[in-house]
Amino acid sequence: MLNTISVDVEDYFHPSEVQAFVDSSAWEDLPPRVEDATRRVLDLFARHNARGTFFILGWVARRHPALLRDIAAAGHEIACHSYAHRLVYELTPVEFREDTQLAQQVIADACGLLPRAYRAPSYSVTERSLWALEILAELGFTHDSSIYPIRHDRYGIPGFGLHARLVSTPSGPIMEVPAATVRLPSGRLCPVGGGAYLRLLPYRYTAAGIRRVNDDEKRSACLYFHPWELDAGQPRLARGLLARALQHELDHLQGVLLVDRMPAVKRISLAGQLRRLQATSRARSG
């Protein structure tokens, strides 16, 4: 079974949990660590011959163009993670379009590749910002991974659907690839694809979740993590016990284990997954 592994390329001061403590106007004054952290991810993937999707923040692309070229040269898919890491539902459609177009442009300028996959910061395409999918399709995006089919205080569309599927918009279809979840016998839906669930819960939780998606549901799992999650030496910017736990439980990060301890679980990019889904669809229709 092929699973999708993806990396949200942003620095340690970009996460939504941190922006409450560090204004974006101060980003330029903070020491960057994203390049070294991302190169560690590239080394990790190379060791296991893994190919993934790298959702790159436009702010990072503008300042680290050589990093993007190296990601592309290693055979990974170049994708878009917005420009300034602003939550989609806090933007107007006009602001979202401008942010996305700017990100597309600086990413293309950095590596010569126009991204066709998008992931919103903090999975912030929700019921009140579903209009974003139409804009993405209009801008040429073929697939998106911005919807988490769970209930959360900051994101999620409960009941959306657990697996990749085409979504129709007035601008054309777009393939939506949700992060992995599993349904427990009680009916409760649990995230297993990444984020704080990957950082804070035991490795066996994630491994068991992937096995359930692959073996019981016969579907691929979409997984994600951030380079800063592998960087135990980063400055601690978030304050408060919960904020610090959400951002910085790094010493036993399961993202490393996910790749290092599961070499038998094959990993591909979203583009590769899209090609497989399209081939399956054509075979069924034929």
Decide if 71 contacts 54 (C-beta within 8 A).
yes
Q: How would you label 234-257 residue by residue, b for 16+ Cβ within 10 Å and e otherwise?
A: beebbeeeebeebbbbbeebbbbb
* 254 neighbors 194 (Cβ within 8 angstroms): no
d(Cα 137, Cα 164) in Å, to the nearest integer? 16
Between 65-73 and 34-47, two packed helices, what is the crossing angle to 10 degrees? 10
> Residue 90 burial (CB < 10 Å; 0-12/13-18/19+)?
exposed
Rounded alpha-carbon distances, angstroms, from residue 122 to 8, 80, 85, 142, 231: 10, 13, 8, 20, 19
Range of the domain at 49: 2-285
Q: How many Cα atoms are found within 13 Å in the side-chain-facing hemisphere of 29?
A: 5
Give the per-residue pLDDT at 284.
45
- Is residue 59 within 8 Å of residue 84, measured between CB atoms? yes
Tokens of 275: 């090609």
- pLDDT, residue 260, reads 53
Q: DSSP E strands: which ranges in the chain?
A: 2-9, 53-56, 77-80, 117-118, 143-144, 165-167, 174-176, 181-183, 189-191, 222-225, 266-268
Q: What is the pLDDT along the chain (286 residues), one digit of tens a residue?
A: 788 899 999 999 998 888 878 888 989 999 999 999 999 999 988 988 889 999 999 999 999 999 999 999 999 999 999 999 999 999 999 999 999 999 999 999 999 999 999 999 999 999 999 999 999 999 999 999 999 998 887 788 998 999 999 999 999 999 999 999 998 888 888 999 888 787 777 778 888 999 999 999 999 999 999 999 888 788 877 666 545 555 544 444 444 445 555 433 444 445 554 455 444 444 444 4
Query: Where residue 190 sits, what CATH number does that domain have?
Result: 3.20.20.370
Can you tell me the distance from the alpha carbon of 283 to that of 265, in angstroms, rounded to the nearest whole number? 25
Residues comprising the chain, all counted: 286
Compute CA distances 78 → 60, 117, 252, 284, whole Å. 13, 8, 28, 29
| Count of structural domains, the chain | 1
In terms of Cβ atoms closer than 10 Å to its own Cβ (0-12, 13-18, 19+), residue 130 is middle
pTM of the full predicted structure? Answer: 0.88
